[in-house]
Amino acid sequence: MARMKFLCDAERCIECNGCVTACKNTNDVPWGVNRRRVVTVNDGVIGAEKSISVACMHCSDAPCMAVCPVDCFYRTEEGVVLHDKDLCIGCGYCFYACPFGAPQFPQAGAFGLRGKMDKCTFCAGGPEKDNSEAEFKKYGENRLAMGKLPACAEMCSTKALLGGDGDVISEIYRQRVLKRGRASDALWGWSTAYGAPPKQGATK
Amino acid sequence: MSAPRTVIVAAFVAVASLGLAGCGENQQVTVYKQGKYQGKPDTKPWDSPEYGGDQAKWERAIETRTQGQNEYVRIGG
């Protein structure tokens, strides 16, 4: 059985925010809620700027599930972490626990009242009848039930953002890195990710 | 037993049973079991009308879509 995961290739992401737009449009995400966003480091620094698209990573051992006081989270057979909005009390514990800032809370009232948690569903809906009005209203589109992958990954113009079975997308990424053919970091691009190796004879 | 007496006894029994039913204390709050999902059950993606429970067909569709993200497969490389 597949373990659904996202993988973002920072070498390819061009910060177009196409993934963010695709997510917003597909799931009719309310104003002020960002299920997905693009994070850029070294913005404007030529040659050093890197962007990465971030959302819920559907962790195998999800901290949000561990801290939820009402246990409204569940993991599907495909490894997608979802939650029941009818049970959520909007306490915000999951937001503090999540290392990616994935849980979002819509403003539910005039005085900044926190609504029920909303997050990326890997376009897998939630505990309602597949692609029913109730499911769309609460969780967005259930593309997995249609045999499709998340809209963000499928809409990515440079295919920087990959979504699907973790083993399959890791293999796609591995092929890419091999094709790029960097001399010093032939396999996984470690020097790209963690900085260039120190020069010969350089002092620390 | 006369008819009016039967009616009175029947009425008493009915009122008593209703009254006793009111004494029953049913659980009216959610009982949380630590670490166990408490929400509604969800269906499998292959149980949708498109796939009608055919898991293998759904997995093939997802595999095709996933490989569609690999341009070395899609357009050759």
What does the domain layout of chain A look like in residue ranges? 4-161
Of B36, B59, B71, Cβ closest to residue A159? B71
Residue B53 lies in a domain: yes
Residue B68 lies in a domain: yes
Both tokens of A34, joined, read: 């960002």
A162 pLDDT more than 90? yes
Minimum Cα–Cα distance from B47: chain A residue? A145
Give the number of domains in chain B.
1
Minimum Cα–Cα distance from B53: chain A residue? A145
Residue B8 lies in a domain: no
Residue B33 lies in a domain: no
Q: How confident is the model at residue A186 (pLDDT cuts 50, 70, 90)?
A: very low
Domain containing B57: what range? Answer: 47-77
Q: Of the candidates A92, A89, A57, A97, which has an alpha carbon nearest to the alpha carbon of residue A75?
A: A57
Q: Of the candidates A105, A114, A6, A100, which has an alpha carbon nearest to the alpha carbon of residue A62?
A: A100
Q: State whether residue B32 sits within 8 Å of chain A by CB.
A: yes
| A125 contacts A132 by C-beta, under 8 angstroms | no
**What is the assigned CATH class of domain A4-161?**
alpha beta
Residue B41 lies in a domain: no
A1 pLDDT more than 70? no
Q: State whether residue B42 sits within 8 Å of chain A by CB.
A: yes
Whole-number pLDDT of residue A180: 76
- Residues A82, B51: C-beta atoms closer than 8 Å: no
Residue B26 lies in a domain: no
Give the Cα separation of B41 and B36 in Å (integer).
Answer: 12
Q: How far is B12 from chain A (nearest CA, A)?
A: 43
Supply the pTM of this predicted model: 0.79
